[in-house]
Amino acid sequence: MSGRTWRLSNSLLLSRRAIAGRRVRRTAWNLVGIAVFVLMVFPVYWMVSTAFKSDSDINSIKPSWIPLHATLDHFRAAVSGDDHPYFWNSVRNSLIVVGVSVGLSLVLAFLAAVALAKFRFTGRKLFIVLVIGIQMLPQAGLIIPLYVVLARYHEVNRLTGVILTYMTCVLPFSIWTLRGFIIGIPRDLEEAAMVDGSTRLGAFVRILLPLVAPGLVATSIFAFITSWNEFIFANVLLQDQQRQTLTVWLSAFSGTGRHTDWGALMAASTLTAIPVVGFFLLVQRKIAFGLTAGAVKG
Amino acid sequence: MLRTVVFTVANVGLTMVLGTLIALLLLRVSTFVRVLLTAGLVLVWSVPVVVAVQVWYWLTNFQNGVVNYSLGLGQHDWYATTFSQLAMVTALIVWGGIPFVVVTVYAGLAQVPRELVEAAEVDGASSPRVFLDVTLPVLRPVLLILTSLSIIWDFGVFTQPFLLIGQSKLHSANYLMGVYLYEQGYAKSDFGRGAAISLLMLLMVAALSVVYVRKMVRLGDER
């Protein structure tokens, strides 16, 4: 056997061992990955599965990991039970507040974003700083000034007051994100349209609007999620049970009696989470981009 | 006040470290596990805060919460002492905060040039060394922004402690700034003092905000 073939087979053997080692390591990492997955997702799983379990399964000391006796009772109790009225009321309130504030904010934010992205004007930089800066304020810090202002105009305990409040949160964010989307559209397209005899408005409607549409959708969905989840302001501003939004309704759920109806609570939680989770999965990619586009690129 | 600072540091530290570790883990697992884990993280990310609070409250319930059972603790009351109350709030916040960090850091990791890592490995650098000298410098801007954002968020946190500890159990020993502000300014209707606290909070995060805002403005103008 010549030295050369010996060396070859030896190196083959070595690399085979290396591959085997890598495979073992990869399997180990995979196991770690799955463990992390289980840890992170477990609370969500537990919420949904508890919502479907029967009361005796929920209250036994030894937890049952899988809901074998699935039941819809808890959902029924949460939505229309005597102990928990106002579910549909809260849903309606949430929808009104979120719908109106997101709708108005988006129209305003879109126009502001176009101005920021396309034109140079005095105070533009200051405006950008303000738009980003406002988002940095701790929300709890805004409760008092907002409460005082709204109380002066008799808007406390009214949905309009909450709508105005939510707009102050949603607007800056929407302006900033939309601006990012608009900047991504080449100026030439619009200019070409104008050279071809289109008016500025025409170019705006026919060129810019369709191109920004996906951005508009993503932004509005994210705005929807933030306002749907909002709790602090709704809790402070809406005192009547008939006027509360879904998050406030949910937070009051466990505090009513000494014995907590865990099944119904989890069913209610699941119901509150569903629209958000659904929408979130749709736009998650775009938003992660929007929030950190600058950071990752820079 | 000091409590809030310690609390914020603990929260942000844990979120960032665990988040970065999971992001690094994502690089090492097979495609299937990566997709699974990412999907799970996004799911967690999307859970509304108020809902998450209720779920944690149920998980850690002393009578038949699943956490006590799994750890074999009998009827341990997680909300008995101030420390453990705040620890529960921390766990909740970190759990909710990790997904955003992971997704962002993972995106940032994609920017690390593969050749550089391979070159370092060929030169015999150990994996912690590669991480410190090659990966970290590339990630620095991402981590910087994430950290300042997390500090700003966690410093003013209100919903989680307010709901999880429960209004009846809140007292001066477990106040965080956000909750203190609410109690003084709103519940006791002392608008003056409330405004003073919120100004203080603003000043404390102001320095960080300036860093963040400047970075964003600069990036915004470059684009």
The rounded distance, in Å, linking the Cα atoms of A110 and A106 is: 6
For residues A178 and A291, the answer to whether their CB atoms sit within 8 Å is no
User: Which residue, B152, B145, B49, B148, is CA-closest to B105?
Assistant: B145
Q: Which residues of A touch B166 (CB under 8 A)?
A: 255
Contacts of B182 in chain A (CB under 8 A): 140, 143
Rounded to whole angstroms, how far apart are CA atoms B15 and B146? 10
- Write out the two tokens for A72: 């819809």
**Residue A278 and residue B53 in contact, taking contact as beta carbons nearer than 8 Å:** no
A66 vs B24, more confident = B24
Nearest to A173 by CA among A137, A122, A124: A137
- Give residue limits of the domains in chain A: 3-71, 75-297
Residue A197: exposure state from Cβ atoms within 10 A (0-12, 13-18, ≥19)? exposed
Write the single-letter amino acid at B156.
G
Interior/surface letters B29-50, b for 16+ CB within 10 angstroms, e for the rest: beeebbebbbebbbbbbbbbbb
| Helices assigned H by DSSP within chain B | 2-28, 31-46, 49-59, 66-71, 82-109, 114-122, 127-130, 136-155, 159-164, 177-181, 191-222
CB burial of A238-273 (b: ≥16 within 10 Å; e: otherwise) equals beeeebbbbbbbbbebbeeeeebbbbbbbbbbbbbb
**How many whole angstroms separate alpha carbon A186 and alpha carbon A188?**
5
pTM exceeds 0.90 for this model: no
A244 confidence band (pLDDT: 50, 70, 90)? confident
Tell me whether residues B191 and A125 touch, CB distance under 8 A.
Answer: no
With an 8 Å Cβ cutoff, is B83 touching chain A? Answer: no
Query: Which of B50, B166, B213 is facing A250, going by the closest CB pair?
Result: B50
Residue pair B207/B199 in contact (Cβ under 8 Å)? The answer is no
* pLDDT, mean of residues A125-134: 78
Q: A269, A285, A286, A297: best mutation site toward chain B, by most B Cβ within 10 Å?
A: A269
The conformation of residue A18, written as its DSSP 8-state character, comes to: H
ipTM of the predicted assembly exceeds 0.90: no
**Side-chain-side CA neighbours of residue A202 (13 Å):** 9
- Domains of chain B and CATH, by start: 2-217 (1.10.3720.10)
Closest CA to B90 of B162, B11, B18: B11
- For chain A, the C-alpha Rg in angstroms (whole number) is 27
Q: How far apart are the first and last CA of chain B?
A: 40
pLDDT grade, residue A11 (50/70/90)? low
Query: Of A46, A50, A83, which Cα lies nearest the Cα of A262?
Result: A50
Structure tokens at A119: 């034109």
Q: Which of A154, A162, A155 is nearest to A101 (CA)?
A: A162
Where is average pLDDT lowest: A7-11, A104-108, A271-275, B106-110? A7-11
| Per-residue pLDDT at B74 | 65
Query: Cα–Cα distance between B156 and A136 in angstroms, integer?
Result: 10
At residue A68, the 3 state secondary structure works out as coil
What percentage of chain A has pLDDT greater than the value 90?
1
Phi–psi pair at A245, nearest 5 degrees: -90, 175
| Nearest residue in chain B measured CA to CA from A127 | B217
B193 and A CB contact within 8 Å:
no
Q: How far apart are the first and last CA of chain A?
A: 58
Check B69 against A41: CB less than 8 A apart.
no
Per-residue pLDDT of chain B (223 residues; tens, 9 = 90+): 677 888 888 888 888 888 888 888 888 888 888 888 888 888 887 788 888 888 887 787 766 677 777 776 666 677 777 777 888 888 888 888 888 888 888 877 877 777 787 788 778 777 777 777 778 887 887 787 788 778 877 877 777 777 777 666 666 666 777 788 777 777 777 777 777 787 777 777 777 777 777 776 666 554 4
Q: Give the C-alpha separation, A253 to A66, whole Å.
A: 25
Contact (Cβ atoms closer than 8 angstroms) between residue A219 and residue A174: yes
Q: Decide if B198 and A33 are in contact by the 8 Å CB cutoff.
A: no
**Is the Cβ–Cβ distance between A151 and A83 less than 8 Å?**
no
Instruction: Report the distance separating Cα B101 and Cα B18, nearest Å.
Output: 9
Residue of chain B whose Cα is closest to the Cα of A228: B48
Of B32, B63, B206, the closest CA to residue A141 belongs to B206
Q: What is the mean pLDDT of chain A?
A: 76
Q: How many CB pairs under 8 A join A and B?
A: 228
Domain A75-297, CATH class in plain words: mainly alpha
- Asked if B24 contacts B131 with a C-beta cutoff of 8 angstroms, the reply is yes
DSSP code for B168: G
Going by C-alpha positions, the residue among A249, A255, A100, A63 that lies closest to residue B59 is A63
Which amino acid would we find at residue B166? G
Strands (E), B28-82: none
CB A249 within 8 A of CB A231: no
Residues in chain A, how many? 298
